[in-house]
Amino acid sequence: MRTPIDAPILPATDTAIATVGLRAPAAAAETGAQAGPDPLPRIRSTLHDGVLTVTLAGEFDHWSCAPMRRLLDEGAARGARRLVVDAARVSFCDSALLHVLDRWVRAGGSWELACASHPVRLLLSVSRAAGVPVRRPG
Protein backbone atom coordinates (compact mmCIF):
# COMPACT_ATOMS: atom_id res chain seq x y z
CA MET A 1 0.00 0.00 0.00
CA ARG A 2 1.41 3.33 -0.96
CA THR A 3 0.20 6.79 -0.05
CA PRO A 4 1.51 10.21 -1.14
CA ILE A 5 3.45 12.08 1.50
CA ASP A 6 1.35 15.23 1.23
CA ALA A 7 -2.09 13.63 1.04
CA PRO A 8 -4.89 14.77 3.33
CA ILE A 9 -5.78 12.73 6.40
CA LEU A 10 -7.66 9.63 5.30
CA PRO A 11 -9.42 6.88 7.18
CA ALA A 12 -7.62 3.55 7.13
CA THR A 13 -8.51 1.14 4.35
CA ASP A 14 -7.26 -2.23 3.25
CA THR A 15 -4.64 -0.60 1.05
CA ALA A 16 -3.55 2.30 3.24
CA ILE A 17 -3.05 2.31 6.97
CA ALA A 18 -3.18 6.08 7.26
CA THR A 19 -1.70 9.19 5.85
CA VAL A 20 -1.22 12.36 7.75
CA GLY A 21 -0.67 15.43 5.67
CA LEU A 22 -1.28 19.09 6.12
CA ARG A 23 -0.66 21.77 3.58
CA ALA A 24 0.80 25.19 4.31
CA PRO A 25 -1.79 27.97 4.29
CA ALA A 26 -2.17 29.69 0.96
CA ALA A 27 -1.58 33.03 2.68
CA ALA A 28 2.07 32.14 3.26
CA ALA A 29 2.58 31.61 -0.44
CA GLU A 30 0.75 34.83 -1.29
CA THR A 31 2.91 36.97 0.99
CA GLY A 32 6.08 35.70 -0.67
CA ALA A 33 7.43 34.22 2.56
CA GLN A 34 10.78 32.49 2.19
CA ALA A 35 10.43 28.75 1.94
CA GLY A 36 12.47 26.92 4.54
CA PRO A 37 12.10 23.44 5.93
CA ASP A 38 8.43 22.53 6.06
CA PRO A 39 7.47 22.20 9.74
CA LEU A 40 4.14 20.48 9.08
CA PRO A 41 4.35 16.80 10.01
CA ARG A 42 3.69 14.29 7.25
CA ILE A 43 3.63 10.52 7.51
CA ARG A 44 3.53 8.05 4.64
CA SER A 45 3.20 4.36 5.34
CA THR A 46 3.09 1.00 3.65
CA LEU A 47 2.39 -2.42 5.12
CA HIS A 48 3.63 -5.56 3.41
CA ASP A 49 4.30 -9.02 4.86
CA GLY A 50 4.24 -7.83 8.46
CA VAL A 51 6.66 -4.96 7.81
CA LEU A 52 5.32 -1.46 8.34
CA THR A 53 7.43 1.13 6.52
CA VAL A 54 6.95 4.71 7.68
CA THR A 55 8.38 7.81 6.00
CA LEU A 56 8.40 10.94 8.15
CA ALA A 57 8.81 14.57 7.11
CA GLY A 58 8.50 17.83 9.03
CA GLU A 59 8.53 18.39 12.79
CA PHE A 60 7.60 15.79 15.41
CA ASP A 61 6.81 16.64 19.03
CA HIS A 62 4.27 15.46 21.60
CA TRP A 63 1.28 16.74 19.63
CA SER A 64 2.39 15.88 16.12
CA CYS A 65 3.41 12.33 17.14
CA ALA A 66 -0.20 11.47 18.09
CA PRO A 67 -1.16 10.45 14.52
CA MET A 68 1.95 8.30 14.33
CA ARG A 69 0.97 6.53 17.56
CA ARG A 70 -2.45 5.77 16.06
CA LEU A 71 -0.88 4.62 12.80
CA LEU A 72 1.45 2.20 14.63
CA ASP A 73 -1.45 0.88 16.72
CA GLU A 74 -3.42 0.19 13.56
CA GLY A 75 -0.41 -1.36 11.85
CA ALA A 76 0.08 -3.71 14.80
CA ALA A 77 -3.62 -4.60 14.70
CA ARG A 78 -3.14 -5.55 11.03
CA GLY A 79 -0.22 -7.82 11.81
CA ALA A 80 2.84 -5.59 11.55
CA ARG A 81 5.63 -6.65 13.88
CA ARG A 82 8.59 -4.96 12.23
CA LEU A 83 8.85 -1.20 11.68
CA VAL A 84 11.20 0.48 9.22
CA VAL A 85 11.49 4.25 9.68
CA ASP A 86 12.75 6.65 7.02
CA ALA A 87 13.35 9.92 8.89
CA ALA A 88 15.57 11.62 6.33
CA ARG A 89 13.16 14.57 5.98
CA VAL A 90 12.50 15.21 9.67
CA SER A 91 13.45 18.83 10.40
CA PHE A 92 12.83 18.67 14.18
CA CYS A 93 12.02 15.97 16.71
CA ASP A 94 12.06 15.62 20.46
CA SER A 95 11.72 12.77 22.92
CA ALA A 96 8.13 12.18 21.80
CA LEU A 97 9.50 10.33 18.79
CA LEU A 98 11.56 8.11 21.10
CA HIS A 99 8.46 7.43 23.18
CA VAL A 100 6.56 6.32 20.08
CA LEU A 101 9.34 3.91 19.11
CA ASP A 102 9.67 2.63 22.68
CA ARG A 103 5.91 2.04 22.83
CA TRP A 104 6.17 -0.01 19.61
CA VAL A 105 8.89 -2.19 21.16
CA ARG A 106 6.98 -2.62 24.44
CA ALA A 107 4.06 -3.93 22.38
CA GLY A 108 6.32 -6.65 20.95
CA GLY A 109 7.58 -5.05 17.75
CA SER A 110 11.06 -4.31 16.47
CA TRP A 111 12.22 -1.31 14.49
CA GLU A 112 15.11 -0.09 12.40
CA LEU A 113 16.09 3.27 11.02
CA ALA A 114 16.50 3.24 7.23
CA CYS A 115 17.77 6.85 7.10
CA ALA A 116 17.85 9.75 9.48
CA SER A 117 18.20 13.50 9.30
CA HIS A 118 20.62 15.40 11.50
CA PRO A 119 17.93 16.19 14.15
CA VAL A 120 17.03 12.48 14.44
CA ARG A 121 20.67 11.39 14.67
CA LEU A 122 21.27 14.09 17.31
CA LEU A 123 18.24 12.96 19.35
CA LEU A 124 19.44 9.33 19.30
CA SER A 125 23.00 10.36 20.16
CA VAL A 126 21.94 12.56 23.10
CA SER A 127 19.59 9.84 24.30
CA ARG A 128 22.40 7.27 24.35
CA ALA A 129 24.80 9.73 26.02
CA ALA A 130 22.22 10.40 28.74
CA GLY A 131 21.90 6.68 29.36
CA VAL A 132 18.37 6.45 27.98
CA PRO A 133 18.21 3.14 26.14
CA VAL A 134 16.63 3.19 22.72
CA ARG A 135 15.27 -0.34 22.50
CA ARG A 136 15.72 -2.07 19.17
CA PRO A 137 15.29 -5.79 19.71
CA GLY A 138 16.55 -7.96 16.90
Asked whether residue 23 is assigned to any structural domain, the reply reads no
For the chain, give the mean pLDDT: 79
pLDDT at 36 (0 to 100)? 63
pLDDT at 4 (0 to 100)? 43
Q: Tell me the per-residue pLDDT of 55-100, one tens digit each, with 9 for 90 and over.
A: 999 999 999 999 999 999 999 999 999 999 999 999 999 999 999 9
Asked whether residue 137 is assigned to any structural domain, the reply reads no
Q: Please, which residues bridge with residue 93 across strands?
A: 60
Spatial distance between the Cα atoms of 93 and 49, rounded to a whole number of angstroms: 29
pLDDT at 119 (0 to 100)? 96
pLDDT reading at 1 higher than 70:
no
Structural domain including 114 reads 38-129
Asked whether residue 85 is assigned to any structural domain, the reply reads yes
Asked whether residue 70 is assigned to any structural domain, the reply reads yes
Q: How many domains does the chain have?
A: 1
CATH number (domain holding residue 84)? 3.30.750.24
Could you tell me which residues come within 8 angstroms of residue 113 by beta carbon, excluding any fewer than 6 positions away? 85, 87, 120, 124
For residue 135, what pLDDT band results from cuts at 50, 70 and 90? low
Asked whether residue 19 is assigned to any structural domain, the reply reads no
Asked whether residue 29 is assigned to any structural domain, the reply reads no
Asked whether residue 104 is assigned to any structural domain, the reply reads yes
Q: Which of 36, 118, 58, 80 is nearest to 67 (CA)?
A: 58
What pTM was estimated for this model as a whole? 0.71
Asked whether residue 20 is assigned to any structural domain, the reply reads no
Integer CA distances (angstroms), 104 to 28, 97, 108, in order: 36, 11, 7
